[in-house]
Chain A
């Protein structure tokens, strides 16, 4: 393990320090610039007519009356856009055998989910565009609708994609060790079938895009509320046949993304085409009602799993079947099978057993697509594993802490390979378990629980250990042929007045990326943080990189910034050494001053070096060319992923008369390696936990039998709100990765990964006296009352 990077008592030691994010004040003061704030000259507004049917043939579309409405500039159908946009297919090569139909911005002859955009109108205002939508007549012929998993798998049932043999998108299998043998000889076997509802991201800022095609320059500029501008630069370039260098994607302030804003959406692709057709800027902002039926959804899994144990409670084997339904297409370009893939590979991850078998079946249905959303697959893998561990504990007669302590991979046993094939560099389950036990005051909680039960108050205590995938290498998407970068790039420059500007490919959606990058750069260069300006999110300005996905900003972006800053520092000190007639190694920079490395005596402000290099290069020795701008790229090497770990706990009360659940307190001990900014890490954990509690207790996209989303508004789709959220207590264990100098791993998904598992365990714990169990998420009052047979 590497020594601390800096000691916090030194000036400019920002790594490990809670400093506020520089952009927080600007956003709080209402000075944010979101895509929806943007008004370009000659800009027009798009609106979409959406399918009322979940599955239907388009017989005819009559757009004449809409086209004639004053203020309408363009009414476009699928056929119009198909002439200029090439289709896309959401498959990747490393998911062997997966299929999905080609997609276009708007459908040609068939709609496959209720809410799918069918016709686009571009008008002087959004209101006029919506008036025009009311004048369009589409004739549909209903086709049989496939909504649930069983219906989709039925032999001889309706097919979603004509020409395919069934509704299967992808199948995968893992089989390691001797599973059948382990189950045959097990002292205990526990088994359960779990279901996980669909839910969706509900970002504060919905999807928003302004596409601005300039036919004179052949240049497309897209202002896009996205977390991955380079990916979209590539996609717009290739699907609309515009050279990459003439496509610019600008992602300014973003109001949350959570994985939802990195997929290709039909409307977004359409808006680019509409701008090309019109030669004018076109804006589209999804409203909340549209978001619910067109943003990706996530989860929607049914998992049957069993676990074998020996008489002492040692886990011997797991056997898992995961069925997941993803909508009518696999999402582009990251596919919709990653979640299932991660479910079967993350199950059992904290534990030592070697025998593991899993089958995954990814299924098409007539609903909006699912895809990657915060903590992809983790909450499902964690809930399945951790519930089975609790069931096993009860069967063997062990306390939940004891069975985990007995089975987790020991902290000193790394490196390790999981039975599912993941390679773990170094995790800290034992340390985290121990810390959580103290932090919860577990024994006191149990005593209080027993006392209250006598008075008819039913408290539950739940814990859940987890492993999170962070710092992904090309093993994630690149190997499958996706043009999705896992490296990042940074350009750092010393300005003429001695400040530093850092242009970097990671992006900011409100999580504080820009803050930690400025901390790292300031720290490495020896500057005050306010003298570092970080610029993100503009493909014409910032170098190409992966941007934001799968927990990589700190681990990969941070390392990129660190190395770039070190390179600039070397160059600055080289010039300083020439001016001061010293060896560069004898010099250092502290607080913007070049100092004698040994004595820390001030020698020269770096502003002076900048002045000389930029304006009086004639005074430098002949042949000297000062390089005060440095570009650096960094791609993770070594382990394909930097895994993190942690454990969560919660205490709650179940009202057994009403089925209502009150989470009283939530705990997390988390190990994301080097913590750069404790405050921001804590914010990530809190936010993640709240999203996980939302999934556990409230959030679900509910569909009717005809494939209509029945709760697609914020009045009906319940997101977690402050009044229902508990206090969250946080502690850290730090096990830095040795793959980077910085040692940071990701922390953005850890909260979401285990919160719902924790709640599931706690609710079941509370219901123990009644012999009732819950195996389905979200845990609604109706499910609790059903389990208790109250109605």
Chain B
């Protein structure tokens, strides 16, 4: 299929991009890597009148330290998650997740900001912003704001982002010496969206877990933190009994949707298995 005809505007600054959007309204779309938007256009699932290309806006690029955070520009491409030394050092969970995002050709174009803005519940990065307690920086007609990942994902493909607003950067608290992380997913084929996936970041004192954030993807309408499971682990050391308790808590944390291929009970089972394996690895990495 071929996309319906549309106009194209290449924005040089955030301001230009926001103005262009304001002018056209609902019929405009920002385009970053295009790896989700272009297929939607080709299938005529979306038919905007105007595409606003944001990939030439310098302010959206770059990765740098800012206070206790790593500021990751919205245009940071998935492949840069693998190659950027600052990410390896200060946001290793993102680096661990990146090889699971699609295939090299898609990673060469797809962007972090685009992935978070789209908020696909099966995507790796949006879920990781939850595990990392990241903050999302948004520019809009009424100025700029920062919002916690915990408050960002609302429902299926619905976020706190208002129409016409732009994600400019994601702020990730710097990875610390007393922290550990683990990531994995179960996908039918390498590069596919996962049947279930999970990433976690723990702050530890010896083998005692002082804090842990565990986030799942492909389990519901949004990326999902499993606070019940987290609660069973915080304050205790990782042992098989605690792991079993965390696994059991998932039943209350997750409510996987009906699906003809992966019934809810199966997804919950896989989530338990994955959680058990990841916590096991977290223990080993002490």
Interface residue ranges, A against B (CB under 8 Å)? 125-127, 130-131, 134, 287, 289, 657-658, 660, 698, 702, 704, 710, 715, 718, 720-721, 723-724, 780-782, 785, 790-791
Q: Give the A-B pair count, Cβ closer than 8 A.
A: 60
* Residues of B with C-beta under 8 A to A781: 186, 188, 195, 266, 270
Known: A658-B273, A791-B268. A718 touches B1 (CB 8 A): no
Is A782 a contact partner of B273 (Cβ separation < 8 A)?
Answer: no
* Residues of B with C-beta under 8 A to A710: 260
Known: A718-B192, A791-B268. A127 touches B3 (CB 8 A): yes
* Residues of A with C-beta under 8 A to B193: 715
* Residues of A with C-beta under 8 A to B4: 127, 130-131
Helix, strand, loop or mixed for chain B's interface? loop
How far, in whole Å, are A660 and B190 apart by their CA atoms in the complex?
12
4 residue pairs, one from A and one from B, having the closest CB atoms: A127-B2, A723-B190, A791-B269, A791-B265
CB A195 to nearest CB in B, in angstroms, measures 16
Is B188 a contact partner of A718 (Cβ separation < 8 A)?
Answer: yes
* Residues of B with C-beta under 8 A to A287: 1
Chain B 1-41 residues near chain A, CB threshold 8 A: 1-5
Find B263's partner among A125, A698, A724, A782 (CB 8 Å cutoff): A782
* Residues of B with C-beta under 8 A to A130: 1-2, 4, 44
CB B10 to nearest CB in A, in angstroms, measures 22
Is B262 a contact partner of A782 (Cβ separation < 8 A)?
Answer: yes
Is B189 a contact partner of A721 (Cβ separation < 8 A)?
Answer: yes
Is A785 a contact partner of B188 (Cβ separation < 8 A)?
Answer: no
CB B267 to nearest CB in A, in angstroms, measures 9
CB B76 to nearest CB in A, in angstroms, measures 24
* Residues of A with C-beta under 8 A to B261: 702, 780, 782
* Residues of A with C-beta under 8 A to B262: 782
How far, in whole Å, are A130 and B268 apart by their CA atoms in the complex?
42
Is B195 a contact partner of A790 (Cβ separation < 8 A)?
Answer: no
Question: Is B43 part of the binding interface, using a Cβ–Cβ cutoff of 8 Å?
Answer: yes
CB A343 to nearest CB in B, in angstroms, measures 26
Find B188's partner among A125, A127, A289, A698 (CB 8 Å cutoff): A698
9 contacts between A and B (CB under 8 A): A130-B4, A131-B5, A289-B43, A718-B192, A723-B189, A781-B270, A782-B261, A782-B263, A782-B266
Is A785 a contact partner of B189 (Cβ separation < 8 A)?
Answer: no
0/1 interface trace, chain B 263-285, chain A, CB 8 Å (1 if under): 10110111001000000000000
Besides A131-B5, A781-B270, 19 more A-B contacts (Cβ < 8 Å) are A127-B3, A127-B5, A130-B4, A658-B186, A658-B273, A698-B188, A710-B260, A718-B192, A720-B189, A721-B190, A721-B191, A724-B189, A724-B190, A781-B195, A781-B266, A782-B261, A782-B262, A785-B269, A790-B269
Is B270 a contact partner of A658 (Cβ separation < 8 A)?
Answer: yes
Among A131, A289, A657, A723, find the residue whose CB has the most chain B CB atoms closer than 10 A: A657
* Residues of B with C-beta under 8 A to A126: 2
* Residues of A with C-beta under 8 A to B43: 289
CB B254 to nearest CB in A, in angstroms, measures 13
How far, in whole Å, are A723 and B260 apart by their CA atoms in the complex?
26
Is A702 a contact partner of B260 (Cβ separation < 8 A)?
Answer: yes
* Residues of B with C-beta under 8 A to A704: 260
Question: Which chain A residue has the least Cβ–Cβ distance from B103?
Answer: A721
How far, in whole Å, are A704 and B193 apart by their CA atoms in the complex?
21
Question: Which chain B residue has the least Cβ–Cβ distance from A785?
Answer: B266
* Residues of A with C-beta under 8 A to B188: 698, 718, 781
CB B209 to nearest CB in A, in angstroms, measures 24
How far, in whole Å, are A125 and B4 apart by their CA atoms in the complex?
12
* Residues of A with C-beta under 8 A to B3: 127
How far, in whole Å, are A720 and B188 apart by their CA atoms in the complex?
10
How far, in whole Å, are A172 and B5 apart by their CA atoms in the complex?
54
Find B273's partner among A127, A289, A657, A718 (CB 8 Å cutoff): A657
CB B276 to nearest CB in A, in angstroms, measures 8
How far, in whole Å, are A720 and B270 apart by their CA atoms in the complex?
22
* Residues of B with C-beta under 8 A to A715: 192-193
CB B130 to nearest CB in A, in angstroms, measures 23
* Residues of A with C-beta under 8 A to B190: 721, 723-724
Question: Which chain A residue has the least Cβ–Cβ distance from B5?
Answer: A127
CB A291 to nearest CB in B, in angstroms, measures 12
How far, in whole Å, are A710 and B189 apart by their CA atoms in the complex?
19
* Residues of A with C-beta under 8 A to B265: 791
* Residues of A with C-beta under 8 A to B263: 782, 791
How far, in whole Å, are A790 and B1 apart by their CA atoms in the complex?
42
CB A457 to nearest CB in B, in angstroms, measures 15
Chain B 137-180 residues near chain A, CB threshold 8 A: none
CB B117 to nearest CB in A, in angstroms, measures 20
CB A216 to nearest CB in B, in angstroms, measures 32
CB A396 to nearest CB in B, in angstroms, measures 36
CB B178 to nearest CB in A, in angstroms, measures 31
* Residues of B with C-beta under 8 A to A790: 266, 269
Find A660's partner among B186, B191, B269 (CB 8 Å cutoff): B186
* Residues of B with C-beta under 8 A to A134: 44
How far, in whole Å, are A781 and B4 apart by their CA atoms in the complex?
39
Is A718 a contact partner of B189 (Cβ separation < 8 A)?
Answer: yes
* Residues of A with C-beta under 8 A to B195: 781
CB A133 to nearest CB in B, in angstroms, measures 9
* Residues of A with C-beta under 8 A to B5: 127, 131
Chain B 162-219 residues near chain A, CB threshold 8 A: 186, 188-193, 195
CB A720 to nearest CB in B, in angstroms, measures 8
* Residues of B with C-beta under 8 A to A658: 186, 270, 273
How far, in whole Å, are A290 and B220 apart by their CA atoms in the complex?
29
CB B100 to nearest CB in A, in angstroms, measures 12
Question: Which chain B residue has the least Cβ–Cβ distance from A723?
Answer: B190
CB B255 to nearest CB in A, in angstroms, measures 15
* Residues of A with C-beta under 8 A to B2: 125-127, 130
